[in-house]
């Protein structure tokens, strides 16, 4: 990768969230910009919930900013802050990518679901006809579940610490043809994949959504997948690996959605 020099002419995109230190997008974006000779840089920025409105207002007025990518906890709030949203963002009521048009108008969309399953495909897993158990029904979990149904998933069990989130996601999946159940099964023997889409496993939220007994009950051919990017090997994935299962870490999801996000927020000049 060639050395980068940021000047006053450099175009800027942001990666926002709180916490922000664990995200992988700046590395992927900035590597791409450098390797392709594009005078653009992604800057990670810690943005609190209270500061989100002000940040979005700043982006509208920043003519050298092309947009931003968002992680937790901003994805749902952003839907009301953009001027227009793509069909996936509207369907899921959440946004993780925002493009700034030259007139300052903001267009948002959601790539978490496609990114997760693109990453899973890269690891050799196709969801068609499969059964999965999902921990987490927030913005990322909802996107993963919705895309699982769109790609022909057969059965999905959903757990979250918020019963309201689970109920909302079950309702959202109605009519997709997928068999949906609420709650975490004690025995995961009938599932092809166990997915963590909660913050559990990050440094600020230690722990795991899946007990050792549940991990041990997964069949030999099952895959354990985590949306967390840092640490790459969570307690959940470590337990699954010790069990001899295949694992997919959150960096696969980051890679899986990178091209979607880049083409949307920062297309080649």
Distance of CA 48 to the CA centre of its chain: 18
Question: What is residue 269's predicted lDDT score, i.e. its pLDDT?
Answer: 67
Per residue in 214-236, pLDDT tens? 999 999 999 999 999 889 899 99
Q: Which tokens sit at 264?
A: 């949307």
| pLDDT, the chain, mean | 95
pLDDT at position 1 over 60: no
pLDDT at position 89 over 80: yes
Please, which pLDDT band fits residue 2 given cuts at 50, 70 and 90? low
d(CA 102, CA 65): 9
For the beta carbon of residue 232, count every other beta carbon within 10 angstroms.
15
Q: What is the pTM of this model?
A: 0.90
Report, as an integer, the average pLDDT of 34-52. 96
- Is residue 155 part of the annotated active site? The answer reads no
For the beta carbon of residue 44, count every other beta carbon within 10 angstroms.
18
Question: What is residue 204's predicted lDDT score, i.e. its pLDDT?
Answer: 87
**Cβ(237)–Cβ(243) below 8 Å:** no
Per residue in 118-139, pLDDT tens? 999 999 999 999 999 999 999 9
Of the two residues 46 and 203, the one the predictor is more confident about is: 46
Per residue in 55-70, pLDDT tens? 999 999 999 999 999 9
Question: What is residue 203's predicted lDDT score, i.e. its pLDDT?
Answer: 86
Question: Which residue in 75, 80, 130, 155 is the catalytic one?
Answer: 75
Question: What is residue 4's predicted lDDT score, i.e. its pLDDT?
Answer: 75
What share of the chain has pLDDT > 70, as a percent?
Answer: 99
Least Cα distance to 209 among 180, 172, 237, 170 occurs for: 237
pLDDT at position 7 over 50: yes
Give the least confident one: 53-57, 113-117, 251-255.
251-255
Q: For strands 106-109 and 97-100, give the pairing.
A: antiparallel
Half-sphere exposure of residue 75: CA atoms within 13 angstroms, side-chain side? 24
Question: What is residue 22's predicted lDDT score, i.e. its pLDDT?
Answer: 87
Question: What is residue 3's predicted lDDT score, i.e. its pLDDT?
Answer: 62
Question: What is residue 268's predicted lDDT score, i.e. its pLDDT?
Answer: 83
Report, as an integer, the average pLDDT of 75-97. 96
d(CA 20, CA 69): 11
Distance of CA 124 to the CA centre of its chain: 19
Question: What is residue 217's predicted lDDT score, i.e. its pLDDT?
Answer: 98
């Amino acid at each position: 990768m060639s050395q980068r020099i940021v000047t006053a002419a450099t175009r800027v995109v942001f990666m926002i969230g709180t916490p922000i230190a664990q995200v992988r997008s700046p590395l992927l974006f900035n590597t791409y910009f450098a390797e392709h000779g594009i005078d653009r840089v992604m800057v990670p920025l810690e943005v609190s919930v209270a500061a989100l409105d002000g940040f979005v207002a700043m982006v509208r007025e920043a003519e050298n900013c092309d947009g931003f990518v968002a992680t937790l906890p901003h994805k749902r709030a952003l839907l009301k802050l953009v001027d227009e949203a793509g069909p996936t963002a509207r369907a899921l009521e959440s946004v993780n990518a925002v493009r700034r048009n030259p007139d300052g108008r903001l267009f948002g969309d959601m790539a978490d679901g496609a990114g997760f399953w693109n990453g899973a495909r890269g690891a050799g897993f196709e969801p068609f006809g499969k059964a999965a158990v999902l921990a987490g029904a927030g913005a990322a979990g909802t996107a993963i579940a919705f895309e699982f149904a769109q790609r022909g998933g057969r059965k999905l069990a959903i757990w979250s610490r918020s019963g309201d989130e689970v109920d909302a996601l079950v309702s959202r999946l109605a009519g997709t043809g997928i068999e949906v159940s609420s709650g975490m099964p004690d025995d995961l023997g009938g599932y092809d994949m166990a997915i963590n889409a909660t913050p559990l496993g990050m440094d600020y939220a230690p722990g795991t959504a899946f007990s050792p007994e549940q991990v041990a009950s997964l069949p030999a051919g099952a895959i354990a997948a985590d949306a967390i990017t840092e640490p790459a090997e969570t307690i959940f994935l470590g337990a699954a690996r010790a069990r001899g299962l295949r694992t997919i870490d959150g960096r696969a999801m980051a890679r899986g959605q990178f091209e979607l996000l880049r083409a949307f927020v920062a297309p080649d000049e």
